[in-house]
Amino acid sequence: MLARLGLLARGIEAVNASIGKTVSYLYPVLVAIVVVNVGLRYIFGLGLIEFEEIQWHIYAAAFLLGFAWTYAEDGHVRVDLFRDRFSARRKAWIELLGCVLFLFPFTAIVAYHSFDFFWQSWLLKESSDVPSGLPARYVIKFILSASLVMLCAQSVASAINSALFLAGRRGR
């Protein structure tokens, strides 16, 4: 049973890492688009709403789809003044309880409700409010829902890893 849980956690982490590493390549694309947009605006006096909107779409996609991987790698910001002084065992308990009591329920509830947000946008074939803006606004809303599902799954993987560590089955 514990071995299967470990496999599940590693599988979730592998999927999140693969997606996170892939979307990290969006950042150079984002920088290029920003540079072109700024150049067009300040050199040629040409402002394109499509460039403005694609900037925030790419930034949102890269951030949201990379968040679960960042969490798995412990690269997120922690607001914990005492954590560095805790033993590995106490950190594992805090991680386990934090995932089970806070992160999993929060992400599960928000993911559930965000799907309706996406679905309504899909049914309406929602696009930008600006006539020259991007079509398919529902794509970014789907990415929001998908990223929440990924983070929810990562909370399960992190809880499993912490429980396995506490059971003496796997190092953190």
- Local confidence band at 37 (pLDDT 50, 70, 90 cut-offs): very high
Tell me the pLDDT tens digit for each residue of 137-148: 999 999 999 999
- Local confidence band at 171 (pLDDT 50, 70, 90 cut-offs): low
In angstroms, the CA 97 to CA 154 distance is: 14
85 or 92, which is more confident? Answer: 92
Q: Does residue 34 register a pLDDT over 70? A: yes
* Global confidence as pTM: 0.89
Q: Does residue 172 register a pLDDT over 60? A: no
Average the pLDDT over 9-23 and give the result.
97
pLDDT of amino acid 61: 97
Please tell me whether residue 129 adopts helix, strand or coil conformation: coil
Average the pLDDT over 109-134 and give the result.
92
In angstroms, the CA 93 to CA 70 distance is: 20
Tell me the pLDDT tens digit for each residue of 144-162: 999 999 999 999 999 999 9
136, two tokens: 């398919």
In the chain, how many H helices and how many E strands? 6, 0
Tell me the pLDDT tens digit for each residue of 47-85: 888 889 999 999 999 999 999 999 999 888 776 777 788
In angstroms, the CA 112 to CA 88 distance is: 33
Q: Does residue 86 register a pLDDT over 60? A: yes
What's 45's DSSP letter? -
Angle, in degrees to the nearest 10, between helices 2-23 and 138-166: 140
In angstroms, the CA 78 to CA 99 distance is: 14
